[in-house]
Amino acid sequence: MKKKNIYVSTVALIDWQGKVLISLRSKKSFLSNHWEFPGGKIKKNEAPEDTVIREIKEELSLDINKKSLKPISFNNHLYEDFNAIIFFYICRSWKGTPSSNLNQNIMWVEISKLKNYKFLPGSNKFILELINLKKK
C-alpha cells in the first residue's frame, strides 16, 4: 500500500550567538517528547517558504521576511504511516521575541550540541548539515 505524502517546511532560527531555536513536541502529538525545528505542514497551493512564515507567526509570534529565508535542503523520511517530504530553511533575522503559543518548551541550543537531543527522525539530516555549515 502506498503511503500518504505529507509536505512540511521547517526552519533553523539562528540568533546572533549562533544558537538555534528548538521546541519539544507536546505529549498529545505524534512522536511526543521529540525535539523539532519550528514549522509545519504545507497547505494546498502554499509555497514552502510561505508555510515557514505562517507557522512561525502562529507558533512563536515572530515575523519573518521572505528575503531572510535561505533554503538549505530537503529530506524525504519514511515514517510508519506516511512519507514526510521536508523543506529545510535557515533564518538569521526576524521581528519579535519568540514565545511558545502551543505551550511547547522552546530553547536556544548551540548547534554543536544538537546531537544531544532526541529529534524527530526526519530532522537528523538537517542537524548534520547545520553542524557542517558551522564548521565552514
Global pTM? Answer: 0.92
Give the separation between CA 9 and CA 38, rounded to whole angstroms: 9
Q: How far is CA 6 from CA 13, 67, 77, 123, in A?
A: 22, 25, 10, 15
Average pLDDT for the chain:
92
Reported as a single tens digit per residue, the pLDDT across 48-65 is 999 999 999 999 999 999
Task: Reply yes or no on whether the pLDDT at 1 is more than 70.
Answer: no
Give the separation between CA 110 and CA 33, rounded to whole angstroms: 20
Give the separation between CA 29 and CA 12, rounded to whole angstroms: 21
Q: What is the pLDDT of residue 134?
A: 64
What percent of the chain is modeled with pLDDT above 90?
79
Q: Which amino acid is at 54?
A: R
What percent of the chain is modeled with pLDDT above 70?
97
Could you tell me the domains of the chain? 4-135 (3.90.79.10)
Region 78-105 average pLDDT? 92
Region 33-44 average pLDDT? 94
